Amino acid sequence: MWRSLCNYLTHLAEREPRGWYPLLCVYYLTYACNFRCPYCSDGNGKPYFELPEETMPGYRVLDLLRTARRSTDYLVITGGEPLLHPDFAFVLDHLPSIRFDGVILTTNGWDLTPHLTAVNASVRYLVFSLDTLDPIKAQRWYGHGPNVLKRILQNIEAATRLPGRKYEIILSSVATPTNIEDLADVYRFSREVCRDGDVLDI
Ligand code: SF4
């Protein structure tokens, strides 16, 4: 925490990156994804799910994160869909031992429920992607069958109800001309299922 504050003040004072330290580390656990969102892009116009799927084994991921921890206090685990990493559960179980001040996990929500207890022990902010409450549109966008939206909503609700939950929930929407009219419904859903402190990010 204090180091993050010092880093931030150094960044404000220093015009040159020499001596700068990262405020957070963003780690792409895997590029694999079981969804097919039309806007998906690695920043160069290629969807993550078309990128090579090679991943590091879990023990090497943890070595890398231990190294990152020496220079930064916060970690974002993302993808692709990070839960598709073959050692996701192993990495999640061992994260508390690395003692980041805060861990943020992003997910499309398809398969999260079996991991909720481990998420509660390791993650401070749990970020679900949710772009629409229209089941037809969700099926077309996510490319994952007719019940995809129902299952995601059930998993979000399960995440809100976990006994003793400590993580906060963030619903993250990508606004495009195709779904902009759906976002008010997503916002209303967030108010219904999430407690105070949980947020909607668009
Ligand atoms: S869930 Fe994320 S990684 Fe997967 S297709 Fe959609 S935008 Fe891409």
Domains of the chain: 26-201 (3.20.20.70)
Say what the pLDDT of residue 13 is: 78
Residue nearest to atom 3 of ligand 1 (CA): 80
Pocket of ligand 1 (CB under 6 A): 33, 35-37, 40, 47-49, 79-81, 108, 129
Q: 167 C-alpha vs ligand 1 centroid, how far in Å? A: 22
Q: Could you tell me if 39 and 174 are in contact, meaning their C-beta atoms sit under 8 angstroms apart? A: yes
Per cent of the chain over pLDDT 70 is 94
Q: 48 C-alpha vs ligand 1 centroid, how far in Å? A: 7
User: How many Cβ atoms sit within 10 Å of the Cβ of residue 197?
Assistant: 7
Could you tell me the end-to-end alpha-carbon distance of the chain, in angstroms, rounded to an integer?
26
Q: Could you tell me if 165 and 194 are in contact, meaning their C-beta atoms sit under 8 angstroms apart? A: no
Report the predicted TM-score, pTM, of the whole model to 2 decimal places: 0.90
Q: 14 C-alpha vs ligand 1 centroid, how far in Å? A: 36
Query: Does pLDDT of 196 surpass 70?
Result: no
Residue nearest to atom 8 of ligand 1 (CA): 40
Query: Does pLDDT of 2 surpass 90?
Result: no
Could you write out the DSSP letters of every residue in 86-136? TTHHHHHHHHHHH--SEEEEEE-STT-GGGHHHHHHH-SEEEEE---S-HH
Tokens 């939206």 — which residue? 149
* Residue in 28, 30, 36, 37 to alter for ligand 1 test, most ligand atoms within 8 A of Cβ: 37
pLDDT, mean of residues 25-53? 92
Q: 194 C-alpha vs ligand 1 centroid, how far in Å? A: 23
